[in-house]
Amino acid sequence: MRIAPTTNPDLSAALAAAINNKTKPLGSLGALERLASRLGLIQDTVAPTIRQPAILVFASDHGVVAEGVSAYPQDVTWQMVENFLAQGAAINVFARQNGIDLHVVDAGVNHDFGARPGLVDRKVAHGTRNFALEPAMTQAQCATALEHGAALAADLPGNVVGFGEMGIGNTTAAAALMHKLTGIPVAECVGAGTGLSPEGVLRKQRVIEAATERHAGVDDPLAVLATFGGFEIAMMAGAMLKAAALRKVLLIDGFIVTSALLVAARIEPAILDYCVFAHCSDEAGHHRMLDALGAEPLLHLNLRLGEGTGAALALPLLHAAASFLNEMATFASASVSEKSA
C-alpha cells in the first residue's frame, strides 16, 4: 500500500511559526515542540487533535521456544491473554487510566480460547514453526497475517494507533529480524527478554546465529519476516502500513513492536514520517534498533514489559503537544513582550 511522505515545506513553516509565537522562549518545550510539529504534518493541519486513541495488542506463539530461548514456558502466552481479558494486566491499567480503547488480538496463540468477549480472533495457526530448523511461516501465512493487521487498523475510528504484543519467544524473533534487516551483529541484538541468565542470553545468541546461517540467502524484507518473524509481528507490520496509509499517528512501543516497524519501513520507508516512538526499552538491542531508524524516543523508563505499556504511558505527551499548540496564548494575544535580540 502506498504511503505518502508528510513532507510539506509550507506547513512545516506554518507549524514552526505557530510554535515559536507561543508565550515561551524559543525551543523551551523541547521534544514537545518537535512532537507537535510531527502531529501537524501527519494530520496536515496546524491544529492537530488526538481522537479516540487505540492500542492493538497482538498475541502469538513461537516455535523457536523449543530451543530453550525463554525463561518462561510457552503456556504463559495464553495465560497472559486470559489476564488481558480479565482486565488484570499492566496494559489494562494504563489503557483505562489514559482513555485508550484496547483491542486484544489472537494472531496465532497455541491455545483454543473459543469465542470470547473482548478477544479478536485472527489466528493464522497455533504458533509459528521453529525457525532454527525451517521458516517460521509460509509466504501465504505471512500474507494472511499482514492482511488481517491492515483490516484491523482500517476499522479503528480514531487517529492514533498504538501497538503492543504478547508472545513467549518473541524477543528471539525480533532480534533475528533486527540482525537480518540492519546487519548489526547478533550479540548486539539479543537481550534477556523475559529474564534470561547470561548463559541463557548466550544460548539465544547462538540459536539466532545458527538460524541466520541456515537461512543465509533470505534478504527480501517479506521473506525475512516469514522466515524469522511471528504472526503477531507480521500482523503488527500490516496494521502499521495501513494506519500510516490512512494518515494515522503510529505510537510505537518497545523492542518487538519496533522490529515490526523495521520490517514495515523496509517495505515503505515513508512510514517513519507517521511514527512517534514512545520509549527506549531496557531490552539490550532496542536503542540500537532505534538508532538504525533515526528515532527519538519520548521516554526512558527502563521498561521491558511489552504489551504496549510504553505506548500507553506516552499518550499523555501527545495530548500535551496538541494542547499547547491549540490552546497556549501567543505573545500578541497575551500582550507579552517578545525577546528583543
CA atoms within 13 A on the CB side of 221: 17
Active site residue: 134, 209, 307, 338, which one? 307
Question: Taking the chain, what is the end-to-end CA distance rounded to the nearest angstrom?
Answer: 49
307 assigned to active site: yes
Return the number of other C-beta atoms located less than 10 Å from residue 112's C-beta: 10
Torsion angles phi and psi, residue 52, rounded to 5: 45, 60
Other Cβ atoms less than 10 A from the Cβ of 213: the count is: 8
Q: Which residues have C-beta within 8 Å of that of residue 56, sequence separation ≥ 6? A: 103, 105, 152, 153, 156, 161, 162, 163, 164, 236, 239, 308
- Helix (H) or strand (E) holding 32, with range, is helix 31-43
Nearest alpha-carbon partner for 8 in 49, 48, 47, 44: 44
> What SS3 state is found at 186?
helix
Q: Which amino acid appears at position 304 of this protein?
A: R
Q: Can you read off the three cell numbers belonging to residue 231?
A: 504472526
Quick one: which H or E segment has residue 121? Answer: strand 119-121
> Which residues are designated catalytic?
307
